[in-house]
Amino acid sequence: MKLRAIIADDEPLGRERVRTLLKDEPDVEVVAEAANGREAVAAVRKHAPDLLFLDVQMPELDGFEVLRGLGRERLPVVIFVTAFDEHAVRAFEVHALDYLLKPFKPSRFKQAVARAREQARRRGGLEVPAELVALLKEQASKSTFALRLAVKSPERTVFVKVELLDWAESAGNYVVLHSGKETHVMRETMSALTARLDPAQFLRVSRSALVNADRIKELQVAFNGEHVVVMRDGTRVPMTRGLREVQAAMEAR
């Protein structure tokens, strides 16, 4: 039985790592790769794979959103791949689902593929495991705001604690995170980042800026009659969101 696989990971090196290790699995054929969540959904719909290596943290749609977007009738056997994500790891362990925690060793990868191979043959592509169904129901029924943000680069992955994030600004399909004296460039849109953070804690003050409410010192009138958010460190962030709306959000905290 030849297993047809898709690799979904926004990191090129991450996809390459899986692809290289699969060369030692002659019964697994990579039929497509995806660099974000939407590409992953499209690839699965097009190729109907037996096996999906799915990164949990991706732009556009995260791993859980990818699976919900596919629907139960289209779900292949899934091996979750994640840089440390507290919510995801805890959920996988509770539901006894297999996952690969980056950076993983070849022996751990081979073990995960062996389990997936057995699962694929056992279900014959027809039945979605109850554990996976339960996981998706759980993720859909609760808010899982990020506690850490994984900032990936070709050389390393840096984890930024959300509680230490001061503010973020948009730069096209990237966001620049400001945390104390550190800045990190993250491959994600501002809309996607906003959806991952607790709206009671982080306020979208303009299309291109998101601020941690606890870091706001005051709101000031700018020279042009508009307003700026003054952060505790003195940073001035232009604000286009309505003044009353921001004041109400602050007072409700």
CA 182/CA 214 separation, integer angstroms: 18
* pLDDT of amino acid 141: 54
CATH topology of domain 3-141: Rossmann fold (3.40.50)
The answer to whether residues 70 and 45 touch, using CB atoms and an 8 Å cutoff, is yes
* Per-residue DSSP letter, 4: E
Contacting residues for 211 by C-beta, under 8 A, at least 6 apart:
166, 167, 168, 202, 203, 205, 229, 231, 237
If you average pLDDT over every residue of the chain, what do you get?
Answer: 86
Q: Name the residue ranges covered by the structural domains of the chain.
A: 3-141, 148-251
Question: In which band, very low, low, confident or very high, does the pLDDT at 252 lie, cut at 50, 70 and 90?
Answer: low
* Tens-digit pLDDT profile for residues 208-217: 999 999 999 9
Let me know how long the chain is.
Answer: 253
The reported pTM is: 0.61
pLDDT greater than 60 at residue 157: yes
* Tens-digit pLDDT profile for residues 120-129: 887 654 566 6
127: three-class secondary structure by DSSP: coil
Question: In which band, very low, low, confident or very high, does the pLDDT at 42 lie, cut at 50, 70 and 90?
Answer: very high
Sequence letter at residue 176? V
Question: In which band, very low, low, confident or very high, does the pLDDT at 85 lie, cut at 50, 70 and 90?
Answer: low
* pLDDT of amino acid 15: 94
Which candidate, 13, 253, 19, 14, places its Cα nearest to that of 5?
A: 19
Q: Does domain 148-251 have CATH number 2.40.50.1020?
A: yes
